[in-house]
């Protein structure tokens, strides 16, 4: 994929949907979260018509703060998983990305105050429509040694969610896939938190 990637939430849809475009503006991924499911279920497609599923993300339990979300490819082979770091994530969002049960990467919020202000302002009538244009939470994916490998930043936008993902270091293809799937699931989860 050609970075940076641009992500945009579809405004009017049944269940959250994200379009992911590469640096050339070509559709790279199309993400759809199933609506009204007790267990989170997300499908990542190669096309907007949703005819070619590439990956599936599924929770290991019914709606739960400590759920683990497994990644599987189109052949139903396990690719890894992501899990919120529990109580540590109350103030500052932190997620662990796993491969074969071992933590291989971590996603951490750069500045929790930005997210708090964004959530607070967005809930104020009239003023809230400008919060998405003024405040931009950012998240960094780091490898096990703490070196940053990807960065996700919320972009200015009215009435919708827009984000960019930058690749900060070379990665193996499997690690890059896990990091991208982890960021997509994290966005869906954090979007619900504000």
Domain interval for residue 152: 5-193
Pick the more confident residue, 24 or 161. Answer: 24
pLDDT band at 79 (very low <50, low <70, confident <90, very high): very high
pLDDT band at 15 (very low <50, low <70, confident <90, very high): confident
Report the number of distinct structural domains present in the chain. 1
Residue 90 scores a pLDDT above 60: no
Query: Over the stretch 100-109, which tens digit does the pLDDT of each residue have?
Result: 999 999 999 8
Compute the distance between CA of residue 34 and CA of residue 90 in angstroms, rounded to an integer.
25
Q: Integer distance in angstroms from the first to the last C-alpha of the chain?
A: 29
> What's 27's domain CATH number?
2.40.160.200
Query: Over the stretch 32-56, which tens digit does the pLDDT of each residue have?
Result: 988 766 677 899 999 999 999 999 9
In sequence order, what are the residues at sequence separation of 6 or more whose Cβ sits closer than 8 angstroms to the Cβ of residue 127?
A: 121
Predicted pLDDT of residue 85: 83
3-state SS, one letter per residue, for the chain? CCCCEEEEECCCCCCCEEEEECCCCCEEEEEEECCCCCCCEEEEECCCCCCCEEEEEEECCCCCCCCEEEEEECCCCEEEEEEECHHHHCCCCEEEEEECCEEEEEEEECCHHHHHHHHHHHCCCCCHHHHHHHCCCEEEEEECCCCEEEEEEECCCCCCCEEEEEECCCCCHHHHHHHHHHHHHHHHHHHHHC
Predicted pLDDT of residue 56: 96
């Amino acid at each position: 994929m050609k970075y940076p990637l641009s992500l945009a939430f579809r405004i009017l849809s049944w269940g959250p949907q994200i379009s992911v475009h590469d640096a050339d503006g070509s559709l790279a991924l199309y993400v759809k979260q199933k609506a009204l499911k007790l267990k989170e279920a997300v499908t990542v497609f190669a096309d907007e018509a949703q005819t070619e599923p590439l990956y599936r993300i599924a929770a290991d339990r019914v709606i739960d703060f400590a759920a683990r979300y497994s990644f599987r490819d189109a052949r139903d082979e396990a690719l890894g998983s992501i899990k919120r770091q529990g109580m540590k994530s109350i103030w500052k969002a932190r997620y662990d990305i796993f491969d074969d049960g071992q933590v291989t990467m971590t996603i951490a919020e750069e500045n929790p105050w930005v997210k708090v202000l964004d959530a607070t302002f967005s809930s104020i009538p009239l003023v809230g429509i400008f919060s998405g244009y003024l405040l931009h939470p950012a998240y960094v994916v780091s490898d096990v040694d703490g070196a940053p490998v990807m960065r996700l930043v919320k972009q200015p936008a009215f009435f919708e969610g827009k984000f960019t993902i930058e690749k900060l270091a070379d990665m193996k293809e499997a690690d890059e896939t896990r990091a991208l799937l982890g960021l997509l699931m994290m966005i869906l989860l954090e979007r619900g938190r504000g």
